Chains A and B, each alone.
Chain A
Amino acid sequence: MELTKDILLDLHRRMVRIRHFEDEAGKLSESGQMPGALHLYVGEEAVAAGVMVHLSDEDQITSTHRGHGHLVAKGGDFKQMYAELYGRSTGYNKGKGGSMHIANVDAGMLGANGIVAAGPPIAVGAGFSNKYRGTKNVAVPFFGDGATNEGSFHEAANMAAVWKLPVVFVCENNGYGEFTPQAEHQAIKDITDRAAGYGMPGIQADGMDAIAVWEAAGEAIERARNGEGPTLLECKTYRYYDHVGRSGIGLEYRSDEELDEYRKEDPIPKIEKHLIDNNVLTADEIQAVHDGILAEIAEAIKFAENSPLPDPSTVTEDVYYTG
C-alpha cells in the first residue's frame, strides 16, 4: 500500500470534518438548541478515517451509540445529518432516528445503535450477503471494549470465523465502558487476546494515529476482500469529551492528567504536522480546510433549523420493513 498525497489529504479531511461536526453539535446540544443526548466521537477520529478511506459505498459498516463520526467518515452529508440530529423531516431518517439511530443505507452505513454490541451481528449478516452474492465487499462493525463482553459480539465473531466471512471487526478501545474503566469490566486489557478464541487473527493499531490505522485496516480489509476471512483489529484510542455530551454529567471516573496525556496525542495536529513536514499542505492551506468545513457546517445547521418537523401523521411510517 502506498501512502499517496491524496490519501493523506483524505485522512486529514475526514478527521477535520468529524471534529468540527461533533464540536458544533456538542455546543448546540449544551445550549439547548438541539434535542437529545449526544455521544461525541472527538479524539477517536483517526479510527473512523483510517478505516473508511479503504471502503466504498458498497462496503457496509455498523456503528455504535457514538456513531456520528462513522457516518461523517463514510461520506455523510452535513445537512441531512444535522437535520436528523434536530429531529427534522429532511434528516437521513426523516427525523425519527436521531443521534443514536442515524443511518444511511445507500452509503453502506447500516446504522448507529443504542444497544451495545448490536452492530456486530448485523455486520456479519452483511458479510454473509457479500459472500453469498459473490461480491468483493467487506462489512466492518465498529464497537467498543465494553461491547466485547456481550454475547452478541461472541456469536458474531464466532460465526464470521466459521464461515470465513469478509468482516473486519474494529474495536475502538477507549479504555472505558461508559463511565467504567476497562479494568473493572473485563480481566483482559487487549481485546486482540480474544481473537485466538474465535480462530481469527487479532492485531493492534495506534488509534490516535490515522496513518497507523490506515495501514493496519488496509491489510485486514484486503485480506477479507480476498476471501481469507475476518480479522479483529483493536485500535487503542481515547475520547476527549465525556461519555455523553462535551462536559458530561460530572462523574469523576478519569483524571485530568490522563486526558492531558491523550490530548498530546491528538490525531489531527499529528497528521497536520506530517502534512507540513512533507510539503503536502502549508499551514495556511490547512487553515483553509478547517474554514471551508466550518462554513459548510454553518450552512448545514441553518438548513436543519429551517427544516420542518416530521408530520405527526407519519408516526407509523418507516417502522417496519415492507419490502
Chain B
Amino acid sequence: MPGPVGIVANPASGKDIRRLVARASVFDNQEKSAIVRRVLVGAMAAGARDFAYLPDTHNIAAEAAHEFKDKANFTEVQITRTASTMDTVYAAQAMFDIGCSIVLTLGGDGTNRAFAKGWQNVPLVPISTGTNNVFPGLVEGTVAGAAAGLIAAGKIELASVSNQVKATTIEIENEEDDLALVDAVLVEGGFVGARAIWSSEQLKTAVLTRAEASAVGLTAIGGLINPITQSDDTALVIQFGPDGELINAPIAPGLYEPVPVISTDVIEFGETVTVEGPGVLAFDGERERVLRKGQTAKLQVNRNGPHVVDVHATLTKAAHLGLFLTK
C-alpha cells in the first residue's frame, strides 16, 4: 500500500507587497483551510485514508484535519518550527522520511520551490494560493484531492499521470546551493528586503526553465519573445540592460512593465550559466540570496524537479477505469 497523502499549506503565501505595488489578490488563511477541507473530501472519496500534514504556524491544515479525525488517520509531521520558509523545507524532508506517496501543496511558486528544496523529485499536486502561480495550476481542491487520493490508494500509478518538471540548480561560490523551479534571476541591489520583484530596471540576467506567453511573472518576459514549454528539454537565458529592446510584459499580477531585453539564448540541459555579484539572486519571483561583489553563481537546468500530477489526466483515467462507479 502506498504511503500517506502529505499536505502542506503555506500561511504566508499570497500576502506580500505585490498587493500594493501590483494588483495581486489577497489569499486569506480561512480560505486555505477551506481548500484543505475540500482536498480531504476529494482524497477520501478516491479511497485515501492516511494523511500527514505540516503543523503550520496558523493551524491551517490541523484545523481541517480535526474536522475529519473520525474518518481518516492523520499524522502531524515533526519539525522544528521556524515560522519561516524553512518550515516547508523541513516538512518536505519529514514527508520523504515517512514515505508519503503524494504531496499536495497550497501556495505559490515560492512555496513549491521551498518544498522541492527539501524533496526535489517529490510526487506533487500543487494548488495555487500564491501571488505568481506559474508552477501550481488553478485547480479546485476537491478534484486535486481526488487525484492525489487515487494515487495514494494505489488505484492509479503515479508514473502514468505525472511528468517530471525542470529545475535550476544554483551553485553559489562558498555558500550553500539553491534551487529554482521556474525562474532564477540576478537583480541589482544588495538586500532581500520585501523579497518580491516589481521593477524591471533591476533585472540583469534570467534563467527560465519555462518561458510561457500566457503566464504572469518573469517567465512571461521570455514567453513573449521565445516561448519554451515545460516539455521542451531546453531553457532560456535572458540578458537585460538599459540599451535593450523593450518588451511589454506582465511581470506581476496586474502589472505590465516595459522590460529592456538585450538578448535571449536557448540553452541545453547541463549547460552552465555563470553570473557574478554584486546583486541579489531571486528564485521563483522572490529575492533570496545576496551575491557580494565578485562572488559567482553557476546555474544549470535539468529535468530533475518534482513529478507533477496532471489532475485532469488522472481523473479521466479513473473515469475510464470506472473507479468512481458505485453499485
- A-side interface residues toward B, CB under 8 Å? 3, 183, 188-190, 192-193, 195-196, 201-205, 209, 211-212, 214-216, 219-220, 223, 231, 236, 261, 274, 277-278
Contact = CB atoms under 8 A, between A and B. Distances in A.
Contacts, number: 72
Given A195-B26, A202-B26, A190 B58 contact: yes
Contact of B193 (A183, A190, A211): A211
Nearest to A197: B28
B21 interface: yes
Q: Most A CB atoms within 10 A — which of B12, B28, B58, B194? A: B194
B26 A215 contact: no
B80 to A, nearest CB: 9
Contacts of B193: 3, 209, 211-212, 214-215
Contacts of B55: none
A216 B191 contact: no
28 contacts: A189-B11, A189-B57, A189-B58, A190-B29, A192-B26, A193-B26, A193-B28, A193-B29, A193-B30, A195-B26, A202-B26, A203-B15, A203-B17, A203-B19, A204-B16, A209-B192, A211-B191, A211-B192, A212-B195, A214-B193, A215-B17, A215-B194, A216-B20, A219-B17, A219-B20, A220-B20, A274-B190, A277-B190
Contacts of A209: 192-193
A271 to B, nearest CB: 10
Contacts of A203: 15-17, 19-20
Nearest to A236: B83
Contacts of B57: 189
Contacts of A261: 82
A188 B191 CA distance: 30
Given A214-B193, A231-B20, 5 more contacts: A188-B30, A192-B26, A201-B20, A204-B15, A205-B17
B189 interface: yes
Contacts of B15: 190, 192, 202-204
B10 to A, nearest CB: 12
Contacts of A219: 17, 20-21
Q: Which bucket holds chain B's interface residue count?
A: 20 to 34
Contacts of B29: 188-190, 193
A216 B18 CA distance: 10
Contacts of A204: 12, 15-16
B190 A196 contact: no
Q: Which 3 A-B pairs have the closest CB atoms?
A: A215-B194, A193-B28, A215-B193
B26 A196 contact: yes
Nearest to A271: B191
B292 interface: yes
A124 B11 CA distance: 30
A193 B60 CA distance: 14
Contacts of B12: 204
Given A209-B193, A212-B192, A274-B191, A196 B20 contact: no
Contacts of A214: 193
Interface in B15-43: 15-17, 19-21, 26, 28-30
A190 B11 contact: yes
Nearest to B191: A211
A74 B255 CA distance: 34
A188 B28 CA distance: 9
Interface in B71-121: 82-83
Nearest to A223: B20
Interface in B183-217: 189-195
Nearest to A257: B80
B254 to A, nearest CB: 12
Contacts of B82: 261
Nearest to B290: A277
Given A189-B58, A203-B16, A278 B194 contact: no
Contacts of B20: 201, 203, 216, 219-220, 223, 231
Contacts of A211: 191-193
A201 B58 contact: no
A196 B28 contact: yes
A3 B194 contact: no
A214 B194 CA distance: 9
Contact of A3 (B17, B59, B83, B189): B189
Contacts of A183: 59
B26 A278 contact: no
